[in-house]
Structure 1
Amino acid sequence: MIKNYFKIALRSFRKHKLFTFINVVGLSIGISAAVVIYLIVQFDLNFNRFDNDTSNVYRIVTNYSFAGNPGYNGGVCGPLTVAVKNQVPGVDQSAPFFTLWETKVNVPGEHGAELTLKKEKNIVLADGQYFNLFHYNWLAGSAKSALNRPNQLVITSQRAQLYFPNVPYDRIIGREVIYEDTIKTTVSGVVQSLPANTDFAFTDFISYSSGNTVPAWKDNMQLTEWGSTTSASQLFVKLNPRVSPQVITRKINDLLKKYNPPKAEDKGNSQSFSLQPLANLHFSQQYFPFDNGSTVSLTTLYGLLIIGAFLLVLGCINFINLTTAQASQRAKEIGIRKTMGSTRSQLIMQFLSETFLVTLLAVIISVCIAPVILKLFADFIPPGISANLIHQPDLVIFLIVLTIGVSLLSGFYPALVLSGYKPVAVLKTQANSLAGKTRNAVLRKSLTVTQFVIAQFFIMATVLVSKQIYYALNKDLGFKKDAIVNISTPFKSLGTDKQQVFLNAVRNMPQVQMVSVGGAAPSSSNTNSTTAKYTDGKKEVKTDVEQKFGDENYIKLYNIKLLAGRSLQPADTGRAFVINNTYAKTLGFRNPADAIGKVLDYNDRKMEIIGVANDFYQKSLHSAIRPLVILQPFRNKWNNRTLHIALKPQTAGGTEWTTALDKIGSTWKNIYPEDDFEYTFYDEAIAKFYTVEQNTTRLLTWATGLSVFISCLGLLGLAMYTTGQRTKEIGVRKVLGASVGQIVALLSKELIWLIVLAFVLVTPIAYYAMQKWTENFVDRTPISWWVFVLSGAGMLVAALFTSSFQTVKAAAANPVKSLKTE
């Protein structure tokens, strides 16, 4: 019986090749999208899974509020680590670590050869508690003793193979690895590398106590500064199951009040700690996992699931519409089968088997093209994602469930409709009346409207997201971003003559307009903040402020406008700074000029306000402008590492910038022969703030194209069928004098009304969804009316263009031929 079902199904496919092709293509696109999206969502939802119980593991994070504006930092102040360990009962384990940024690594070889790696990331200072909290598989060494003493080192298996190729893990113990040319460490352990889907992608673990032996590391860690917070300093804790997180949060904040007490005058400003569950680490948009990490929005993942579901539904709708539209062509077949004794259940199984074969073929095609799709989007799909049926049994299960689900969703209703025909009616040649009912069926129109709703929603979303990105990339951020190059000088050269020699050489190049040396650019992903206090005799305002470091050219180079006072001068180092207008308002000055000359307590120093700068965005448009100080670097060498180079305007078609970069690169090689020359155009760095949104636009563009393609594909099939059913009617109308344009308008009238109805339904839904999405931006573009009009018109044009291939052909046909077919 089953064999007979499939034989009949294959015969039906051969007879209706075009409709079968449309169904297979539509389902293949939907299933391919579902497979790829499943792989992405499954990969992200399984992030940070360790083989031990981590349900009670939390990260301590820092929250701020300044004049009603919230601020967030995934790090903590340095002394909190020891305080929590010694003074907070209920914390069973605590694991601090400090992330090092772009570190040079030298690995001496056994026979004199040396491996040199520059600007390496994923290197941290950690202690043994880290490996007690997060279980790794130890290949050599032991968690109990591996990081007990200064200058000990634990590396992952992947890093061990790079540092010491073909050396057994047990023989790596005791080998030497040198950081920043002078910091010698000894390997004390090797652990198995974690899977790709983890934020804990660290490769080198240097003992935490080494921070006290290396001056530069000690300065950055700020182990005694309760008022300074850096995202590089992380603290994870495991709570006793009998103690609630709320109790621990209160105790941790009691420590802050004890060692860094707030003043009663600090109205509107606050600082506090909170606990972030490990399970939330990868999905938090407010707190990045680590300096080298990234986050994924759960909303984005749910959006991907919706996109996949929509594309799958579109393919299923095509199948249902085209199958029910063919009812008249199979009516007599059904009548004869029923007359010969076939039951309704047997006919349902027959039609479901046909649907199953189409779905199975679509699944096979989808599995074949899924790797191609992954490569197509490889630049923003995590590298650990792959489609491998042999090593991914969960993917096989998903495909089986998907095949059965799509077969039932697509085939069950058509099977009920077709199997429900009465043999007496269909054998009395009432097939055309059946076709008429099919053509005018409410369900078919509803499904078609649903297709257009989905397609128009994607079009509207794509246009608005693109509009927001264009707005973000072209908005005046409060500073100059074009024709500026950022270069980080080697750590070892800081404070030496080499940096000054390089700086002077660049300044003297004819293509260079100006050079500044300092820390991060005005807008960057790095957050460096501290606490400052102002007292005017009546009240005291204590505020967490963000810091930007630069020399006397910094403000001028970035064209940051001064509202009052003057810019920085060399004599201001360590004694004066420029603040932004937001900070001036926080301090209570409505007029920026009133803040000039006021003195603040800043990092145990008295600092005078010499200027008030116009507000500029310190991060992307996602974040609000925070209180800020701009000062010349002192104390910490890291704040004097970045060269900001403004190039002179380039002539049209000129090569001045290329020449300048070549000269800078040659000078770099002469002064730093061991270090690679790397630079970043600042406007490109700004654009990277919106990588997620740009990827979203790209994904939406593809989803829009596919949804419109699937919808138009189904529309073409329906147009071919309906015009075929109305061939005689068209012939009669032409004989009576109807023109081609009138007939095309007649055949397209129903389609236009369906698109208009879909537009009316989708517009409020799309508006609400887009309004919620733009709430992620503090500064956002308005949702313009033309976005919806353009999207609706675009869908209408695409649909009419697709259907016109068949309607124009039918309208232009010779009526004599159509009337002869009677």
Structure 2
Amino acid sequence: MLKNYFKIAFRNLWRHKGFSILNIGGLAVGMAAAFLIMLYVGFELSYDTMFPKKERIYMLVSDIKTPSDSYQIPVIDWSVLEKITPRFPEIETSTRIMDLSLSIQKGTENFQEKRSLAADSTFFQIFGIKLLKGNPNEALRAPLSLVLSETGARKYFGSENPIGKRLKIMNGEYTAQVTGVMEDLPHNTQIEADYLLSISTYTQIIDPSLDTSWANYEPRGYVLLAENTNTENLVSKINTYLDEVDGDKMKAANLFVKQDLELITDVYLHSTRIGNGSPNIGKVYIFSLIAVFILLIAGINFINLTTARSVERAKEVGIRKVVGAQKKQLMLQFVGESLIVTLLAFFLGIAIATLALPYFNALAGQTVASGIFINWSYIALFFGIALAMGLAAGTYPALVLSSFRPVSVLKGKFSTTRSGAFLRKGLVVGQFSLSIVLIIGTLVMYNQMHFMQNQDLGFVKDRLLILDTDNDPKQQLLSDHLKTNPNIISIGKASTVPGGGGNKSSALSLMENSQGQDQTLTADRYIIDENYLDQLDIKLLAGRNFSRELASDSTQAIIVNEKVVDLLGYANAEEAIGASFDQWGRNGQIIGVVENFHAESLKREIGPLSFVFDPKQSRLLTLKVAATDLSRTLNFVEDSWKQFLPNTRFEYYFLDEFFDRQYRSEQRFNNLFLSFAVLAIFISCLGLLGLASYSTKQRRREIGIRKIVGASVPGIVNLLSKEFIKLVGIAFLIAVPVAWFGMHKWLQDFAYRIELSWWIFALAGLLAIGIAMLTVSFQAIKAAIANPVKAIRTE
């Protein structure tokens, strides 16, 4: 009997190949898409979960309040861990980590290693990262100690044992000794590094004052807490103690600091202090919902297609009942056939996901998974989903078709119930509601990205070529030589450029406010020359630019932006000119005020910004180049670089491209969202096609009679399409408030954002109706042009 069921099932699938391809293919594509999304969500949720003591590792963060502003930052003062670690027994140990772009020289080649960190000697004790060679307790203790990952060791030493070998670092200024080789770190961690330099290199050699400085915020801090520590009580005790130790400094500087603790496994997903300032958990929620949407749409589609097909088998069931088939046997047959289809779709979906994984990794911008079978629990989950869909899709037609009287069916009197039609239409409304939500989301995201990338930034970023010389002593010689090329319009110098290139730093500053009092604020600090503002077309609202003719400009002058003027309480930019300042040992007066410009992504509000004049400390060369003969200009720049800086790797970037990298994460997110939205709409169309097919088959005699009495093809197409347009209209009304709420919440992550205009929702509705019309018209036209005689022959 079971063998017979399988034989009948496969015969039906083979006899109706087009239907089978639609049914199995639609479900397989939906399951593959949802499976890939699950891999992405699992990857995001696994961030920083690989550390053995992850439940006890916390990131120490800082909340800073000044009279004018407040800041929540993911870094700490250099000396705070040294103060609190021995004081509180709840803290077993602590470590500082500082992000680096480390230049490493071997022979005549110089490499700029961006995956680098400076770390305390307790680094391995806290994170439990396996050290393959070397002593984990000593590897980062001495200054100029360097630990390499397996990848880094192979890059510089091949198959040789690197322990004890030396590498020149920081443009050859220092020589570091390799003291360890660690295992490669995975991609799903914020402790990303192929090179670890002992932080004592900075605190004992480069700047011995760091360990005793106050309010110098640069490293990240991590603590390993004792088991069962009450973190709220510990934070309270830490802040009380620091008030006692540093309270006088805080009052004198009018700057008040509080510390907090964030569990390391929560930082990436929930912290607002890292990255672009918005928690990553939002993306996880959105993609999880999309996965659920796609599975629901695929499941609804499968049920509708299965139902539409099953009505054609009513006479087959009637004959089987006449010759003695029992209701239980018929139900088993239908459910079994449905399960066969869903299992075929499951295996096809796994195959599609396997083939699509490399493309998906590229679209996500990271290796979300190296293979489909890395987590068998996901495979088991989707196998269970396939079984559930098979049971759901097979049970309904099995109950309906096995319950009617065979005599009525054989006489042609079989018809579907009103509740069955309502169910199918409700499923289609649900499908298109979800699809319209995705269409609206795609339109909103596209418009927000277009808005950010085309917004007036307040500076000009076109045709600016940036070279990072890392303060090489021959920087000026290179600059003088580059000026000889007529295609290089001007050359400036800076420590950083908008978008975070170079050495971005923030400075604790005292500035005279409108009341004549010293006011503390934290301002981003750019070190520039006299050409920089003109090159970027940053507008001066009051005062003047820096000048090489005035020696005091390099020691006693500062330029600020409008935001600083507002925070200091001045009515206009002119009033701030001449106000005194004290910033990192530099004392003098404000000599100029520039118009606010977006130095960072439009996800962030414009903050206080200051410029100081010191060409010798400006590591970046900014070249304004002509648009013509660009390739020849680049060749000239590269040849000049090799002539004057032969031991430094030649690297460059254009400011416009570099600035837009800040939106790379949003672009990838939007591309993923768009891809899955298109898939969801495609699967929804298959469901609509199924219902249209079902409806036209039910009304084929009616259509035949209408044609005989004179109905036109357009009239019949309109008749059949009208009810589906109504369904899409209902879906639109349901989708609009849901989409508005979701997109309104998503836009709150952007300081500068578009308005949710009515036309976005109207366009989404028109697109949905257009897609529905195209889908339904295929079946409607096919039914309208069919021979009416064939349709009514059995009457």
TM-score, length basis structure 1: 0.90
Selected match of 1:288 from 266, 271, 274: 274
SS at match of 2:12: helix
Matches within 5 A, 1:775-814: 775-814=748-787
1:553 to partner: Cα distance: 1.2
Partner Cα separation in structure 1 for residue 190 and residue 709 of structure 2: 74
Deviation at 1:678, TM superposition (A): 1.7
Aligned to 1:110: none
Contact 2:495 2:620 in 1 (8 A): yes
Say yes or no: does 1:505 pair with 2:481: yes
Match of residue 554 from structure 1: 532
The aligned counterpart of 1:709 is 682
SS at match of 2:582: strand
Task: Determine the structure 1 residue equivalent to 2:314.
Answer: 331
Deviation readout 1:672-723 (Å, 9 max, x if unpaired): 2233322111111121111122112212221222122112222223323322
CA drift at 1:585: 1.3
| Distance change >3 Å, CA 633–CA 365, structure 1 → 2 | farther
2:259 paired residue number: 273
Structure 1 equivalent of residue 213 of structure 2: 225
Q: Aligned partner of 2:82: which letter? A: V
1:657-696 mapped onto 2 (5 Å cutoff): 657-696=630-669
Structure-1 residue corresponding to 2:167? 177
Match of 2:301? 318
Q: Which residue of 2 aligns with 1:59?
A: 59
Partner of 2:497: 521
| 1:731-768 deviation digits (Å, cap 9, x = unpaired) | 22122222222111111110111111111111111111
Please report the RMSD computed on the Cα atoms of aligned residues, expressed in angstroms: 2.8
* Distance in 1 of aligned mates of 2:693 and 2:48: 53
Partners of 1:531 and 1:543 within 8 A in 2: yes
Residue type matched to 2:261 in 1? L
* Distance in 2 of aligned mates of 1:430 and 1:769: 48
Alignment partner for residue 586 of structure 2, among 594, 598, 605? 605
User: Does the CA contact (< 8 Å) of 1:62 and 1:73 recur in 2?
Assistant: yes
Q: Give the deviation of 1:305 after TM superposition.
A: 1.6
Q: Report deviation, 1:197.
A: 2.6
1:300 corresponding residue in structure 2? 283
Name which of structure 1's ranges 155-164 and 746-755 shifts more when overlaid on structure 2: 155-164
Rounded Cα–Cα distance in structure 2 between residues aligned with 1:417 and 1:486:
72
CA distance in 1, matches of 2:412, 2:58: 73
Contact 1:227 1:260 in 2 (8 A): no
How much does 1:552 deviate?
Answer: 1.0
Partner of 2:610: 629
After superposition, the C-alpha distances for 1:595-624 in whole angstroms (9 at most, x for unaligned) are: 110101222332311111111123111111
Question: In the TM superposition, what are the counterparts of 1:3-18 in structure 2 within 5 Å?
Answer: 3-18=3-18
Aligned to 1:101, what secondary structure does the other structure show?
strand
Q: For the structure 1 residues 603 and 475, does the alpha-carbon distance in structure 2 shift closer, same or farther, using more than 3 Å as the test? A: same
1-structure distance, mates of 2:281, 2:397: 36
Contact 1:334 1:421 survives alignment (8 Å): no
Shift of 1:327: 3.7
State which drifts further: 525-534 or 594-603: 525-534
SS for the counterpart of 2:99 is strand
Q: Give the Cα separation in 2 of the matches to 1:600 and 1:705.
A: 56
Distance 1:816 1:616 in 2: 74
* Residues 1:227 and 1:470: Cα distance change in structure 2 (over 3 Å): same
Contact 2:91 2:223 in 1 (8 A): yes
Give the number of equivalent residue pairs. 788
CA change 1:127–1:387 in 2 (3 A) is closer
1:618 aligns with 2:608: no
Contact 1:263-1:542 at 8 Å conserved across structures: no
Counterpart CA distance in 1 for 2:77 and 2:597 is 26
Q: 2:55 is matched by which residue type in structure 1?
A: S
Q: What one-letter code is carried by the residue in structure 1 that aligns with 2:487?
A: Q
- Taking the aligned partners of 1:462 and 1:97, their CA distance within structure 2 comes to 39
Post-superposition shift, 1:323? 1.9
Separation in 2, partners of 1:331, 1:295: 56
* Change in 2 beyond 3 A, CA 1:321/1:153: same
Question: Residues 236-282 of structure 1, C-alpha deviation per residue, up to 9 Å, x if partnerless?
Answer: 01223354222332344346544365767999x75433212101222
Choose 194-203 or 553-562, whichever is displaced more: 194-203
Q: Deviations over 1:801-820 (max 9, x none)?
A: 12212212322334344444
Q: Identify which of 720, 725, 741 aligns with 2:693.
A: 720
Counterparts of 2:519 and 2:697, CA distance in 1? 80
Letter matched to residue 210 of structure 1: T
Match of 2:431 among 432, 446, 451: 451
> Following the alignment from structure 2 to structure 1, what is the Cα–Cα distance between the partners of residues 253 and 390?
64
Shift of the alpha carbon at 1:546?
1.4
Q: One-letter code of the match for 1:467?
A: N
Could you tell me which of 584, 588, 593 is aligned with 2:569? 588
Instruction: Provide closer, same or farther for how the CA distance between residues 735 and 414 of structure 1 changes in structure 2, counting only shifts above 3 A.
Output: closer
Distance 1:285 1:687 in 2: 24
Q: Give matches, 1:337-486, under 5 Å.
A: 337-338=320-321, 342-381=325-364, 383-386=366-369, 388=371, 391-423=374-406, 425-431=408-414, 433-434=415-416, 437=418, 441-486=421-466
Q: Is residue 131 from structure 1 mapped to residue 124 from structure 2 by the alignment? A: yes
Cα distance, 1:519 vs. partner? 1.1
Contact kept? 1:744, 1:808, Cα under 8 Å:
yes
Q: 1:410 & 1:736 partners in 2: Cα distance?
A: 39
The one-character-per-residue Cα deviations of 1:450-495 (angstroms, maximum 9, x if unpaired) are: 111111111111111000001000111111111212111145x1xx
On the 8 A contact 1:479/1:558 being kept in 2, the answer is yes
331-340 vs 135-144, greater mean Cα deviation: 331-340
Quote the residue 1:75 is aligned against.
Answer: 75
Q: Secondary structure of 1:441's match? A: helix
CA deviation after TM superposition for structure 1 residue 194, in Å: 3.0
In 2: Cα distance, 1:578 partner to 1:686 partner: 23
**CA separation of 1:92/1:265 partners in 2, compared to 1, >3 Å: closer, same or farther?**
closer
Query: Residues 64, 476 of structure 1: CA spacing in aligned structure 2 closer, same or farther, 3 A cutoff?
Result: farther
**Letter of the aligned partner of 1:156 in structure 2?**
S
> Contact 1:154–1:188 (CA<8 Å) still a contact in 2?
yes
Cα contact 1:723–1:810 (8 A) shared by 2: yes
- The percent identity for this pair of structures is 32
Contact between 1:61 and 1:74, CA under 8 Å: does it hold in 2?
yes
Q: Is the 8 A contact 1:265 1:541 kept in 2?
A: no
Alignment of 1:249 onto 2:235: yes
Q: Which amino acid in the other structure matches residue 354 of structure 2?
A: P
What 5-or-longer segments of structure 1 have no aligned partner?
107-113
Once residues 396 and 457 of structure 1 are traced to their aligned partners in structure 2, the CA distance between those partners, rounded to angstroms, is 28
d(CA) in 1 for partners of 2:782, 2:142: 84
Return the alpha-carbon distance in structure 2 between the equivalents of residues 724 and 378 of structure 1: 43
Trace 1:19-38 onto structure 2 (pairs within 5 A): 19-38=19-38
Shift of 1:48: 1.5
Unaligned ranges ≥5, structure 2: none
- In structure 2, how many angstroms separate the alpha carbons of the residues matched to 1:818 and 1:400? 42
Task: Kindly indicate whether residue 196 of structure 2 is the aligned counterpart of residue 210 of structure 1.
Answer: no
User: Which of the numbers 158, 162, 171 marks the counterpart of 1:165?
Assistant: 158
Q: 1:485-535 deviations in whole A, cap 9, x for unaligned?
A: 2111145x1xx2x10011122233212222210111134277511211235
- Most deviating of 508-517 and 330-339: 330-339
Amino acid at match of 1:712: C
C-alpha contact 1:77 1:223 (8 A) present in aligned 2:
no
Alpha-carbon shift at residue 401 of structure 1 (Å): 2.8
Task: Find the partner of 1:573 among 543, 549, 554.
Answer: 554
